[in-house]
Amino acid sequence: MNNPFNPSFGRIPAVFLHRGQLIDDVVNEINNPNSPYKISIVYGMRGVGKTTFLTEVGKRVEKNPDWIVVDLAMGSNLMAALVDSLYMKAGNELQKIFESIKGLNFSAFGLQLSAEISQPTFSTYQGILTNMFDKLRKKGIKVLITLDEVKSNRELKDFAGYYQLLNRKDYPVALMMTGLPENISELQNEDVMTFLLRGKRIALSALNLAQIEVSYNNVFKQSGFQVTEDILSKMALMTMGYSYAFQLLGYLVWNSAKKNKIIDQNLLDKIKPEYLVELDQNAYTKIFSSLSKQDKKFVLAMAQSSEQRVSIKEIRERLNRPSNFVANYRRRLLDDQIIKSTNYGEVAFTLPFFKEYVLQQHRFEQGL
């Protein structure tokens, strides 16, 4: 049997864990035309499962024949891509209707504009789209636009302006975006884009540890691996509920145990170095480099504690800064989901072995 775990980004994995009712609730909300979820933003650090979540919601919404789901990606002309994807996703009957729009020509290669409008501008696309959305509305078809990894740029600004217009005129078009916390907060600086921020925020939290344990148990036992309960809980703890870590650990354990079919402490010790290297290379390096200088100092002060749960008092003393300064950085890092609050006046890292990563990074910098 092939390894069922898949530690690559942006794909719905074969071993998929549900976050309670979250997907059901969100899908129901999207179906309700007056829901605040008409615009929503899924946010969280790299690897928490934003793209996977967005894809899963899209798949579920699409099951309803009254809906068309179009997936847009940043880095292309969003308006043109929207025209194209709407056409591609529409059924035969609708495609015919779209083809009747003047000046438009669709082919197997996508949209082609007729000669008179060979230099399409923003308003060209705006006209075409509004025409298409009118036709969709008449047919009772609703649209969900998904937009993965938003970033504040010209392209998004234009798109946001147009989407705002659609929304004001009550077209049944929902928008679900994902973004890294730092990119989402940048949207605040641009007038048009603050409109997007009025949407519902969906924070993806850690996967449930008990669920992870049960899932590892099922997958490994069903495939004839020997593993004790004790080892299964250790594995769950090693992931701390981080989605990427869940896939990665499962993947490494499977590969390393597939011959002997025995998963024990020895095996966990053996794969741990590789586990850490992959976490660092594929996630932590990017996450850490997005932090500001002060964030990094806070995080280092935390990592230098002998405790896993660190009191704010201890961090303040180590940084030797006033409490409002420390409180401000604590808030920022909580928002970015780098740390979590464990008790009153106490914080801990969210990601597994992040403390070790920060200390190692510090040693390297000291060595330079």
Phi-psi region of 324 (alpha: psi -120 to 50; beta: other; left: phi over 0): alpha
> Can you read off the two tokens belonging to residue 26?
């969100």
CB of 183 to ligand ADP, least distance (A): 12
CA distance 132 to 354: 48
Q: Is 51 in the site for Mg ion (CB under 5 A)?
A: yes
- Cβ–Cβ under 8 Å, residues 67 and 141: yes
Q: Tell me the longest C-alpha to C-alpha distance in the chain.
A: 71
CB of 152 to Mg ion, least distance (A): 17
Among ligand ADP, Mg ion, none, what binds residue 214 when CB lies within 5 to 8 Å by partner kind?
Answer: none
CB of 209 to ligand ADP, least distance (A): 13
CB of 12 to Mg ion, least distance (A): 12
CB of 212 to ligand ADP, least distance (A): 9
Q: Which is nearer to ligand ADP, 166 or 253 (CB)?
A: 253
Q: Which is nearer to Mg ion, 40 or 51 (CB)?
A: 51
Among Mg ion, ligand ADP, none, what binds residue 246 when CB lies within 5 to 8 Å by partner kind?
Answer: ligand ADP
- Cβ–Cβ under 8 Å, residues 258 and 226: no
> By Cβ distance, which residue is nearest to Mg ion?
51
Calculate the CA 124 to chain-centre distance: 32
Q: Which is nearer to ligand ADP, 94 or 271 (CB)?
A: 271
CA distance 171 to 167: 6
Q: Which is nearer to ligand ADP, 20 or 273 (CB)?
A: 20
Q: Which is nearer to Mg ion, 152 or 361 (CB)?
A: 152
CA distance 117 to 126: 13
Footprint of ligand ADP on this chain (CB under 6 A)? 6-11, 13, 16-17, 44, 46-52, 243-244, 246-247
CB of 233 to ligand ADP, least distance (A): 18
Q: Is 40 in the site for Mg ion (CB under 5 A)?
A: no
CB of 250 to ligand ADP, least distance (A): 9
Among ligand ADP, Mg ion, none, what binds residue 352 when CB lies within 5 to 8 Å by partner kind?
Answer: none
CA distance 97 to 86: 12
Size of the site for Mg ion (CB under 5 A): 2
CB of 172 to ligand ADP, least distance (A): 27
Span near Mg ion by CB under 5 A; candidates 50-58, 59-67, 246-254, 307-315? 50-58
Q: Which is nearer to ligand ADP, 8 or 341 (CB)?
A: 8
> Can you read off the two tokens belonging to residue 117?
């409008």
Residue 273, Cβ density class (10 Å: 0-12 exposed, 13-18 middle, ≥19 buried): exposed
Calculate the CA 83 to chain-centre distance: 25
Q: Which is nearer to Mg ion, 51 or 85 (CB)?
A: 51
- Cβ–Cβ under 8 Å, residues 207 and 241: yes
β pairing state of 142-148 and 346-349: unpaired
CA distance 174 to 34: 11
CB of 67 to Mg ion, least distance (A): 23
- Cβ–Cβ under 8 Å, residues 132 and 38: no
Span near Mg ion by CB under 5 A; candidates 25-33, 49-57, 127-135, 157-165? 49-57
Does the CA dihedral 261-264-266-268 come out positive or negative? positive
Q: Which is nearer to Mg ion, 43 or 225 (CB)?
A: 43
β pairing state of 346-349 and 339-343: antiparallel
Among Mg ion, ligand ADP, none, what binds residue 325 when CB lies within 5 to 8 Å by partner kind?
Answer: none
Q: Which is nearer to Mg ion, 180 or 252 (CB)?
A: 180
Residues in the chain: 368
| CA-wise closest residue to 46 among 358, 338, 287 | 287
- Cβ–Cβ under 8 Å, residues 100 and 126: no
Among ligand ADP, Mg ion, none, what binds residue 243 when CB lies within 5 to 8 Å by partner kind?
Answer: ligand ADP
Among ligand ADP, Mg ion, none, what binds residue 137 when CB lies within 5 to 8 Å by partner kind?
Answer: none
> By Cβ distance, which residue is nearest to ligand ADP?
49
Question: Which residues bind to Mg ion, rule: CB under 5 A?
Answer: 50-51
